[in-house]
Amino acid sequence: MKIDIVGKNYSVSDKLDDIIRKKAQRLDRFFSDDVTARVVCKEEHKGRFTLEVTIIANGAVIRSEETSDNMYNNIDIVIPKIDRQIRKHRTRLNKTFKDTIFNFHAAEAEAIELNDTKEEEIPAIVKTKKFELLPMSVEEAIEQMDLLENKFFVYLNPTTGKVNIVYRRYDKTVGLIEPQY
């Protein structure tokens, strides 16, 4: 697995670069050599640092982020989170992506399964909502999301004729998802 480390409003020292690469090596066993992990280190506000790790492999996206006052602590939290996500969802990911992204060796896979004491179940859908998809501008969609006190809102973009989603981000800003199809 290749690792790209980028700093945004933050200078990544050689020491931090080495630590990230060393800790991320534990994820190598899951992926083939052509997969790239993108690590973004950024300073949000004075004294608040965020570490984001995103792995995109043949359509599967595995992502985790952590914000704290210490970038080194973030590394110790994010890498194990990614490891847990892969372990938890590896069966589903392998079925979906037909072993094209994962590089499980038989012995490693057995060892991992022995460590997983309980089988994770797919969460049951407890509620289904049907609604009319209304055409509206981004501003109107944000207003609707706020009026409904939802974390996201699905609407039809009249300009493109496609479904869009606005959502409230962790930092209280708004994000827009425009699917490509």
Decide if 129 is inside a domain: no
Residue-number span of the structural domain to which 161 is assigned: 138-177
Decide if 165 is inside a domain: yes
Residue listed under structure tokens 């038989």: 106
Q: What is the dihedral of CA 85, 93, 38, 162, to 10 degrees?
A: -110
3-state SS record for 63-96:
EEEEEECCHHHHHHHHHHHHHHHHHHHHHHHHHH
104 plus 41 within the same structural domain: yes
pLDDT digit string (tens) for the chain, length 181 residues:
889 999 998 999 999 999 999 999 888 888 777 888 999 999 988 789 999 999 887 667 788 999 999 999 999 999 999 988 888 777 666 666 555 555 544 344 445 444 554 555 677 888 888 888 889 999 999 998 888 788 999 999 999 999 999 999 988 899 999 998 8
- What's the token pair of residue 66? 């952590």
Provide the residue count of the chain: 181
Question: Per the structure, how many domains does the chain have?
Answer: 2
The span from the CA of 102 to the CA of 128, in Å, is 33
32 plus 66 within the same structural domain: yes
The span from the CA of 27 to the CA of 132, in Å, is 43
pTM over cut 0.85: no
66 plus 108 within the same structural domain: yes
The span from the CA of 136 to the CA of 3, in Å, is 40
19 plus 100 within the same structural domain: yes
